[in-house]
Amino acid sequence: MVQQQVKTQPLADKMRPRSLGEFFGQEEIIGKGKILRKLIEQDDLSSLVFWGPPGVGKTTLANIIAKQTNSHFTVLSGVNSGKADLRKVVLEAEERLNNENKKTILFIDEIHRWNKAQQDALLPYVEKGKLILIGATTENPSFEIIRALLSRSRVFILKSLEVKDIVKIIDSILNDKDRGLGNYKIEISDEVKELLAGLSGGDARSAINGLELAFKSKFRSQKSKVLLTADDIKEALQRTHLVFDKRGEEFYNLISALHKSMRGSDANASLYWLARMLEGGSDPLYIARRVLRFASEDIGMANSEAMIQANAAYDACHKIGYPECSVHLAQAVVYCAKSKKSNVLYRAYEEAAMDARKTSELGVPIHLRNAPTKFMKNIGYGKNYKYNPDIDGEVKQDYLPEQLKNKDYFKKALTRWLEYMGAQKDKKKK
């Protein structure tokens, strides 16, 4: 049993960075000279939304802002708060602004849990400047935060932490004698640190919790040395079967194997690689996004139902989460694997995109242009446009710029696909 010297407060909570100097990762937005860092250091914040997966620093950044700002800092949880809590915060904020001339920053963790009505209730106070909002979400703000609120906020995207950043966090814990494990004799190799960082999937909280659990399972007394091995870390994270390597290469090997197995119409292999990813802790929504992309890139018009199946699986992952959504992903993956394949849409789009990049100076043909004003109509916008539903039979009308007239993006790709399908039929006959 762990001695009393090992405190019960979670290590991840004790080691939460108190300043930007203690914050590791997210250099793209919080590095020296970056706009978010400047806003925090100058205490000149407008409403913000932090979007990213769990354990990458969203709440930590909010706490750092709380310590460095001259504004009053209030926290609400999107899970268990609502309009009544918001009204109380607003009344206190108004009183504070009137009596002390002090602004209020409202941090809403998991803001995507608030429904449209709750977000609508928040909007006028953000709009009038009575509250500065900081929202944290793991979900795409475009889908989960109302447009009016989003347009009044600056969105910062936080990415999964890199192995090197998590290793720095581990080292800081091992060396910190005040809040961390610096007072204990812990022996852990660089390789095991990198294994821990790799297995955490870019989630600092997961890495810290794994380190703490592994330490507590081996700790006997203040004087004894604690040796942490790869097996200790795997057991602590309950992922002994996971083989993601320390650089993350295996993760991309697995998604590649899944993609190629579906492309090769091997439903059994597709199921296996799907299970390897899910059982290893991969984000189901990431896999669902890749399957949704596959449905158009590798199947396309050969079976347009595939995209509906893939989108339904993504929706199920979003609504019910793992592990319940595993069967929905399995259905989509098997359906895609068994579907006829065609990359005609993918190839055609690539051809169109190449022309778009080369000819971005070309204007829209004048008969296709929108004419919302009388002036635009007078100068010819929309003139001679033929409205197809009013005309029986084929409508002869150009839809491409003159320089690209008669361009056929599908012809080459479609011909190649038809030749492939013909060759497949010949093989079956033999």
Q: Matching CATH topology for 1-8+161-247 and 26-157?
A: no
SS3 string, the chain, reads: CCCCCCCCCCHHHHCCCCCHHHCCCCHHHHCCCCHHHHHHHCCCCCCEEEECCCCCCHHHHHHHHHHHCCCEEEEEECCCCCHHHHHHHHHHHHHHHHHHCCCEEEEEECHHHCCHHHHHHHHHHHHCCCCEEEEEECCCHHHHCCHHHHHCCEEEECCCCCHHHHHHHHHHHHHCCCCCCCCCEEECCHHHHHHHHHHCCCCHHHHHHHHHHHHHHHCCCCCCEEECCHHHHHHHHCCCCCCCCCCCHHHHHHHHHHHHHHHCCCHHHHHHHHHHHHHCCCCHHHHHHHHHHHHHHHHHHHCCHHHHHHHHHHHHHHHHCCCCCHHHHHHHHHHHHHCCCCCHHHHHHHHHHHHHHHCCCCCCCHHHCCCCCHHHHHCCCCCCCCCHHHCCCCCCCCCCCHHHCCCCHHHHHHHHHHHHHHHHHHHHHC
Using a pLDDT cut of 90, give the percent of the chain over it.
34
CATH among 1.10.8.60, 1.20.1250.20, 1.20.1600.10, 3.30.420.110 for 1-8+161-247: 1.10.8.60
Q: Going by CATH, does the domain composed of 261-338 fall within 1.20.272.10?
A: yes
Whole-model pTM?
0.56
Give residue-wise pLDDT tens across range 171-230.
999 999 989 999 898 999 999 999 898 888 788 888 999 999 999 888 876 567 889 998
Domain ranges in the chain are: 1-8+161-247, 26-157, 261-338, 358-424
Give residue-wise pLDDT tens across range 370-426.
888 888 888 888 888 888 888 888 888 888 888 888 888 888 777 776 776 666 666
Mean of per-residue pLDDT scores for the chain: 86
Q: Going by CATH, does the domain composed of 26-157 fall within 3.30.830.10?
A: no
